[in-house]
Amino acid sequence: MILALIVDLNSADALILSAFKLSVQLGKQFGVMSLVADNDLIAGCKNELYNGVAVLHIENAYVSVRQAELNDLPDICEEIEVSFLLIQLPNKQVKNLRNWLKYCRNLRIPYVFFRDSFTSIHLSTVILPVGFLEEEMEKAQFASAFGRFCGSEIKMLLANDYGSKAATNAAKMKELFDKFTFGYSLEKAVRDSFKVDIEAIDKAEKEQADMVIVSASRDYGLDDLFFGPKEYHIVKKSSVPVLLVNPRGDLYALCD
């Protein structure tokens, strides 16, 4: 299922349409969900979600409202077999991004924080920064799915490292991509593996790309705890949606 997590329905049209379009392209069920603090709010909120989806002429959507906390999100996604999560990030909620990231660390699926200022995603061009860490390869399956099913052009941005690990990761990704028919390219970045994600964000803005795929932090150090992890700064800075992939070996796949 492609699930849109709604925080404020009044500004969620672009998010809902993006999630629905992605569900059609990937051949997945589409759903919307809201989390509430009180059971008494469920019925009214669910009715609003139904109406919000109907106004956008979307049929057969999975609609759910649950009395739950944010730390319940990984279990909920696993329970209803979500394969891709889009989380609404209203402009007034950006200050809560660090909390959202903390609760998303246990997600076994890719996730996107979708600002109210974003327009509906078209996925014509996807930027894929490639660094030296082993978990970088986990991003390739999602980039491949976008290329195969969404017609995306994948622009790989290879970290400018002294060692060969990033180049090895890029070669493995190309080997995967060559099994299918979609366009991709490889460009050498100016920055190294520690800064290539930020460069990818800048590139996406300059070239009007539709999305950037980034690996989330494997572990949090002291700097991450005080100032926020790298993905916090990337999502906050980015003018396009950022797909985050947690570094786990058991990620769900978007496709068979």
For the chain, which residues make up each domain, given as ranges?
Answer: 2-115, 125-245
Give pLDDT, residue 134.
Answer: 87
Q: Do the domains spanning 2-115 and 125-245 agree at the CATH topology level? A: yes
pLDDT digit string, tens, across residues 213-233: 999 876 555 454 444 567 888
Give the CATH class of 125-245. Answer: alpha beta
How sure is the predictor about 94, in pLDDT bands with cuts at 50, 70 and 90?
low
pLDDT digit string, tens, across residues 49-87: 999 999 999 999 999 999 998 889 999 999 999 999 999
HEC string for the chain: CEEEECCCHHHCHHHHHHHHHHHHHHCCCEEEEEEECCHHHHHHHHHHHHHHHHHCCCCCCEEEEEECCHHHHHHHHHHCCCCEEEEEECHHHHHHHHHHHHHHCCCCCCEEEEECCCCCCCCCEEEEEECCCHHHHHHHHHHHHHHHHHCCEEEEEECCCCCCHHHHHHHHHHHHHCCCCCCEEEEECCCCCCCHHHHHHHHHHHCCCCEEEEECCCCCCHHHHHHCCHHHHHHHHCCCCEEEECCCCCCCCCCC
pLDDT higher for 219 or 163? 163
The mean-pLDDT minimum among 87-91, 192-196, 245-249 falls in 245-249
Provide, rounded to the nearest whole percent, the portion of the chain with pLDDT above 90: 70
- Mean pLDDT (whole number) for 179-199: 94
What are the C-alpha distances in Å from 129 to residues 210, 214, 248? 14, 7, 18
**Fold for the domain defined by 2-115:** Rossmann fold (3.40.50)
Q: Is the pLDDT of residue 253 over 60?
A: no
How sure is the predictor about 98, in pLDDT bands with cuts at 50, 70 and 90?
confident
Give pLDDT, residue 229.
Answer: 63
